[in-house]
Amino acid sequence: MDNKEFDIQAYMTRGVERVVADAVKATLSNPKESVFMAKFAMASKAASKKRKLAQEQGEHIPPFLIASITSQCNLHCAGCYSRCTNATSDEEPVLQMSTVEWEKVFDEADELGVSFILLAGGEPMLRKDVIEEAARRQNILFPVFTNGTFLNDAYLELFDKSRNLIPILSIEGGRDVTDARRGAGVYDKLVKSMEAFKARGLIFGASVTVTTENYREVTSEEFLSTIYDRGCKAVIFVEYVPVTEESDELAPGDKEREYIKNAIDDLRSRDDGMVFISFPGDEKNSGGCVAAGRGFFHINSHGGAEPCPFSPYSDINVRDTSLREAMKSRLFTKLRDGGYLLEDHPGGCTLYSRREEVEKLIEQE
């Protein structure tokens, strides 16, 4: 697909509108959530107008950001990309972004028209200070990608009071496959967290790492009904990115991607009770990968602006510059203009598969 002919702004705006519309429908039976989602739908439209105006003036603003607010994590999940690249550790990192610095990022994102900021880690619930600041930015929806092991009464109160915070629980399928990857007893902790959210009438979602081994299970009626009955309102399917040559076979290929796409299309057509999102999904529909600022980019726990979590390379830091300037980084510009995001690839992440080329771009003056 010719990148010059593809309107990425229109594509991403349609995607945002679909997600928001699905979220509104999914919360109709919950008055408190429904009221918030209706207000957020209005804020999302206003943000889309800001992005459209910027586009007309020659500046592309992505609707999404991913913010890894800490690199500390308490779990050692098998095949964890972040651990294998030393982006995650057991200890609290030194020189990570402060609460005030994240406040600046959130405020500028709101001003620019960013509608969604995905809070990740490490384990983001180790940074309650940052999550509390996110809660104050009601024009932005903050999905919090968590392993679910740090939920307590204080967090339940925060989520109850701040409906723009949406906990997204990481799960791999049933008990056997989840505990095999995340550790013994994690599945039961996730179920306990789900029950706590449901008891308070809080919506939450699930993040599923999709591999060649579990793609049928996690898109099955049995699995989805199980988490839906416990209150889950959104499922984000994230394709596995291989971190070693031995794990290449776990990355979904064309056959698995086609199966997943058809399954999600079917689910969307008949189920108004849940939101289904696939990442990266079928990149052919989006004119290529949406990283490096086309649809989103990643800010690591030390402020480095990276194309995405699976391409941890940066030539600019939001501590030293504005969010607007970070979006125009030399690396992002080269990736977008040089066709690096458009190439077909067998599975996983296109930038990870071309990581040696990305590293060379960083080295270039």
CATH number of the domain where residue 32 is located: 3.20.20.70
**Mean pLDDT over each residue of the chain, to the nearest integer:** 87
Strand partners, 166: 143
In a domain, 123, yes or no: yes
The pLDDT, as a whole number, for residue 365 is 54
Q: How far apart are CA 69 and CA 118, in angstroms?
A: 10
Question: Is residue 39 in some structural domain?
Answer: yes
Q: Is the pLDDT of residue 165 over 90?
A: yes
pLDDT at 276: 86
Distance of CA 294 to the CA centre of its chain: 15
Q: What is the pLDDT averaged over residues 220-226?
A: 93
- Is 321 within a domain? yes
Note whether 295 and 48 are within 8 A (CB).
no
Q: Confirm whether 346 is domain-assigned.
A: yes
Residue 214, domain member (yes or no): yes
List pLDDT tens digits, range 30-66.
888 888 988 999 999 999 999 999 999 999 899 999 9
Mean of pLDDT values over 194-214:
92
Grade residue 14 by pLDDT with cuts at 50, 70 and 90: confident
Q: Is the pLDDT of residue 297 over 90?
A: yes
309-360 pLDDT, tens digit per residue, is 888 899 999 999 999 999 999 999 999 888 888 765 555 577 877 888 888 8
- Stretch 132-141: mean pLDDT: 96
Rg (CA), the chain: 19
Give me the pLDDT at residue 3, please.
44
Instruction: Answer whether residue 55 is part of any domain.
Output: yes
Q: How many domains does the chain have?
A: 1
Work out the pLDDT band at 253, boundaries 50, 70, 90.
Answer: confident
Q: Is the pTM of this model over 0.85?
A: yes
Mean pLDDT of 161-178: 95
Hey, what are 344's tokens? Answer: 């077909």
As a whole number, mean pLDDT of residues 5-28 equals 72
Least confident of 67-81, 111-125, 177-191, 295-309: 67-81
Q: Note the pLDDT of residue 2.
A: 41
| 1 is a domain residue | no
| pLDDT at 19 exceeding the cut of 50 | yes
3 part of a folded domain: no
356: domain range?
A: 8-363
